[in-house]
Amino acid sequence: MAAQTASPLPTADACTRLAQLRIPGVSLTIDASQWIPAGPIPPDPPFPTLPGTLPAYCRVDGTIDRRQGVGGQTFGIGFALALPADWNGRLLMQGGGGLNGRVGLPLGAVAAGDKPALARGFAVVTTDTGHKGAVFDPSFMQDQQAALDFAYVAIGRVATLAKDIVARYYGRAASHSYYAGCSTGGREGMVMAERYPRYFDGIIAGAPAMRTGHSNLALRTVSVAINQIAPRDAAGKPIPAQAFSESDRNALTAAVLEACDDKDGLKDGMIFATKRCEVDLSALTCAGSKTDGCLSPAQVAAIKKAMAGPTDSKGHPVYPGFLYDSGIAASGPGIPGLFGPGAGSPVTPTMALEMDIDTEVRAIEEDPQQTITDTAAWTNLTTFSGGGGKLLFYHGVSDPWFSALDTVGYYERLGASNGGSNAVMGWSRLFLVPGMGHCGGGERALDRFDLLTPLVGWVEKDAAPESVTATGRAIPGRSRPLCPYPLYARYKGTGNPEDAASFECTPQ
């Protein structure tokens, strides 16, 4: 990714002068413009601190359309743009998380392995999508424009502005533009492909929060199933963390691995043949009284109900269930599994013992805000793909917040709407990550992988990614290939079982 310089790169003085930047037709305030010397990659909680260094760069913080909104609250689309001294000619937009509300550190670390985009010489931009607040505080949605900004307006505005500032600062436009995000950032990536199909050459969308109304309903289904079998406190309220003991969770994990671990050719505590994984929990059911190593009939019934996903009164599924995987009962590191202690939705925790799914589905479908936000499901991407755009998805198989099957379902619909699976693989690929939780983490997960390099190679050199190597802190010394769906990584039968080179991508 060598720089393609057409003129001398700017200095700290040029960075300082950006404080006076004015752009005709844009209500823009530059809040700060600071030259930051080269140095170590700074921490960005809750994400792990990365090794290596960043180049010297100019950080520009600004606000678009600052205004007074509902309740006299100040709104505006905040952004931060990092402009490296050693620029490689590219721009990357970094997605947000939760309900946003903060301007993230402009690093470009999503699915970039151990070397974020800024360290590679990309200009990187982030945004709060139009409001300030706690990561899961929805109160801003009382303001119409703030709600629209969060749904899709802000990312389009910031993308356009970032390209303009880049061109002014460096004296030439970015040669290529990329987007990378996970969760809400994954949804934003999909929105970019669907609503702004000419803005980005390549997009990475991880674990996209594309149907939060339905996914939260699924999580309530899980919570209710667990609450119904959980012990009660003195006030009669369920204690969900005690529904499954550590022994119970270990037994569940062991049963899943016993059923599916070797279907990829190697017993290694990881399940790559996800579509071939079928788990019969009857053997795990206690024959008599509850003891360690087996589960009560009520516990087994709760697991089956939770994993199946919610259905309406006519038996129609309203959100896909969850895949049996090594992390469904995880307790850490990372976000715990569906049956781990403390698991559940951060947005809609529930202590309910019953739920009316028909009523909840109707409420979701009739909620205008939900309709506006959950727009990232359109499969007509003919302009994006026809213009040479490339779209990579990834999703942790043990994600307890958004089922990997929902992303699989969208990807399969994408193929059906765009000439079939072979045709769509000419410009879009999906990588499932066994054991990984939501955007990362997992007791048995290899959650460190670089999708940015193959995306750039696909966009700029027409080299489609046939696999991506994954490693992780959870299992030091191990590597595996992530294969494009529906292929999976299968052990060749010979070679070092800890080395990705000993595996091949195989049809399921």
Residues 163 and 293 in one domain: no
Residues 260 and 119 in one domain: no
CB 114 within 8 A of CB 448: yes
Neighbours of 351 (CB within 10 A): 12
Which residue is listed with tokens 């299968």? 490
For all residues of the chain together, what is the average pLDDT? 93
End position of a domain, from candidates 333, 348, 366: 366
Residues 154 and 237 in one domain: no
The residue segments making up the domain with residue 54 are: 11-174
End position of a domain, from candidates 366, 387, 410: 366
Average of per-residue pLDDT across 261-284: 95
In this prediction, residue 11 carries a pLDDT of 83
Residues 168 and 272 in one domain: no
The answer to whether position 438 is within a domain reads no
Concerning whether 399 is annotated as a catalytic residue, the answer is: yes
End position of a domain, from candidates 366, 399, 418: 366
The answer to whether position 203 is within a domain reads no
Average of per-residue pLDDT across 299-326: 96
* Active-site option among 131, 214, 395, 438: 438
Residues 226 and 341 in one domain: yes
Residues 124 and 236 in one domain: no
pLDDT band, very low/low/confident/very high, at 47 (cuts 50, 70, 90): confident
* Active-site option among 143, 399, 406, 447: 399
Q: How far apart are CA 143 and CA 485, in angstroms?
A: 40
Q: How far apart are CA 96 and CA 98, in angstroms?
A: 7
CA 351 from chain centre, in angstroms, equals: 27
In this prediction, residue 403 carries a pLDDT of 97
Q: How far apart are CA 56 and CA 86, in angstroms?
A: 8
The answer to whether position 47 is within a domain reads yes
Residues 231 and 168 in one domain: no
Residues 18 and 114 in one domain: yes
Residues 101 and 50 in one domain: yes
The answer to whether position 243 is within a domain reads yes
pLDDT, tens digit, for every residue of 166-218?
A: 999 999 999 999 999 999 999 999 999 999 999 999 999 999 999 999 999 99
* Active-site option among 33, 131, 143, 183: 183
The phi, psi pair for 248, rounded to 5°, reads -65, -45
Which residue, among 162, 187, 195, 184, has the nearest Cα to 92 in the 3D structure?
162
Residues 231 and 123 in one domain: no
The answer to whether position 94 is within a domain reads yes
The answer to whether position 271 is within a domain reads yes
The answer to whether position 407 is within a domain reads no
Q: How far apart are CA 405 and CA 321, in angstroms?
A: 7
Peptide bond into 486 cis (omega under 30): yes
Residues 140 and 249 in one domain: no
The amino acid at 53: T
Concerning whether 223 is annotated as a catalytic residue, the answer is: no
The answer to whether position 428 is within a domain reads no
To 5 degrees, how large is the angle CA 98–CA 434–CA 389? 65
Residues 125 and 228 in one domain: no
Concerning whether 131 is annotated as a catalytic residue, the answer is: no
Instruction: Tell me how many domains the chain contains.
Output: 2
CB 410 within 8 A of CB 189: no
Q: How far apart are CA 366 and CA 359, in angstroms?
A: 11
Q: How far apart are CA 206 and CA 396, in angstroms?
A: 9
In this prediction, residue 4 carries a pLDDT of 41
Average of per-residue pLDDT across 111-137: 96
